Amino acid sequence: MQCLYSYFCPNMLNKPSPIQLIEDELLTKRSIRLFVKRDDLIHPQISGNKWRKLKYNLQVAKQQQQQRLLTFGGAYSNHIAATAAAGNMFGFETIGVIRGELVKPLNPTLNLAQQQGMKFVFVGRKEYREEKAEIAARLQDELGSCYVIPEGGSNTLAVKGCAEIVAEVQEQLDNVPDYFCVSSGTGGTAAGLVVGLAGVSLVKVFPALKGNFILDEIHSLIWEFVGESYDNWQLISDYNFGGYTKWNQELIDFINDFYKKIRLQIDPIYTGKLFYGVWNEIEKGNFKENSTIVVIHTGGLQGILGFNQRFGDLLKNVET
């Protein structure tokens, strides 16, 4: 993709994102090489999978000469924060339709988005769940044409962006790893990995939400993008800790211990559950010995401040 604005790329994006070899007793014991694809380092505010999901959407919005981006998310949404930052950087107005009622003062996520110029529309949870298309149409009647990005940023353009992870990893490692592991909320990143691999290797998807509905979402995104399906991926549903935003002390302890041992920040919503799951699956022998694993760090670290604000300073991996 050509850069949207020449001044932005590549100087302000850490691309390709680094890949980091992790050393740990468990990995040595199982004869496993594990790398982390550090997409969290792509950009301070448009980090992780968010830049990959947004970049082709931004390009199309620019080609269509759209002035504003309209998207959806919860009050602590990584996607909301990243879209606000991207809009500010590329000269778009941004509107975030937020699930739930306005609560003041704004939490760290919404405060960050507001600082980047995003305007909010708060809607009730039932209306949000059932009437996104109607909400988007109504707002465009009121405000004028908008480029609409779905909740979580997952669409075929997001799949295209996330598929590029595979080629980057292959070039960095000089081969294709045996496994890719990724967390999932709306399925776009997982679908991108599967598409990028085109039937090679195995993608293990660790959903942050309860229930297997994400299977259909990922299947649909793959089919919409390439017109075929692949079977080289599987859902590992045992590590959602009861559902989206759910957690317990065991997860918190793992995140804090992980930071002490490996000095890698992970969050309690997505990547904390992902790494917890990967480590448990390794302990259970569910990865082949002498294999290579690449875990995708999808960012989301902005959410740590909001988590600690809500629940007390439980997470000790805050970096300033």
Please tell me the predicted confidence (pLDDT) of residue 15: 86
Q: Give the residue from 233, 239, 303 showing the smallest Cα distance to 274.
A: 239
Intrachain domains 19-44+158-311 and 49-153 with the same fold: yes
301-to-44, 121, 155, 170 alpha-carbon distances in Å? 9, 24, 23, 26
Find residue 233's DSSP bridge partners.
Answer: 203
Q: Write the CB contacts of 181 (distance below 8 Å, at least 6 apart in sequence).
A: 203, 204, 206, 274, 277, 278, 293, 294, 295, 296
Q: Rounded CA gap, 115 and 85, in Å?
A: 9
Q: Write the CB contacts of 311 (distance below 8 Å, at least 6 apart in sequence).
A: none
Indicate whether 1 pLDDT > 50: no
Model's pTM, two decimal places?
0.95
Report the run of H or E that residue 222 belongs to, with start and end.
Answer: helix 213-226
Please tell me the predicted confidence (pLDDT) of residue 318: 84
Q: Compute the average pLDDT of residues 111-128.
A: 97
Summary mean pLDDT of the chain: 95
Q: Which fold has domain 49-153?
A: Rossmann fold (3.40.50)
Enumerate the domain spans of the chain.
19-44+158-311, 49-153
Please tell me the predicted confidence (pLDDT) of residue 320: 58
Q: Which fold has domain 19-44+158-311?
A: Rossmann fold (3.40.50)
pLDDT digits (tens, 9 = 90+) for 154-170: 999 999 999 999 999 99
Indicate whether 72 pLDDT > 60: yes
Indicate whether 105 pLDDT > 60: yes
Contact 283, 222 (CB under 8 A): no
Please tell me the predicted confidence (pLDDT) of residue 211: 87
Q: Write the CB contacts of 171 (distance below 8 Å, at least 6 apart in sequence).
A: 16
pLDDT digits (tens, 9 = 90+) for 187-214: 999 999 999 999 999 999 999 999 889 9
Question: What DSSP string runs through 104-143?
Answer: SSPPHHHHHHHHTT-EEEEE-HHHHHH-HHHHHHHHHHHH
Q: Write the CB contacts of 312 (distance below 8 Å, at least 6 apart in sequence).
A: none
Q: Give the residue from 212, 170, 214, 173 showing the smallest Cα distance to 191.
A: 214
Please give the share of the chain, as a percent, with pLDDT higher than 90.
Answer: 93
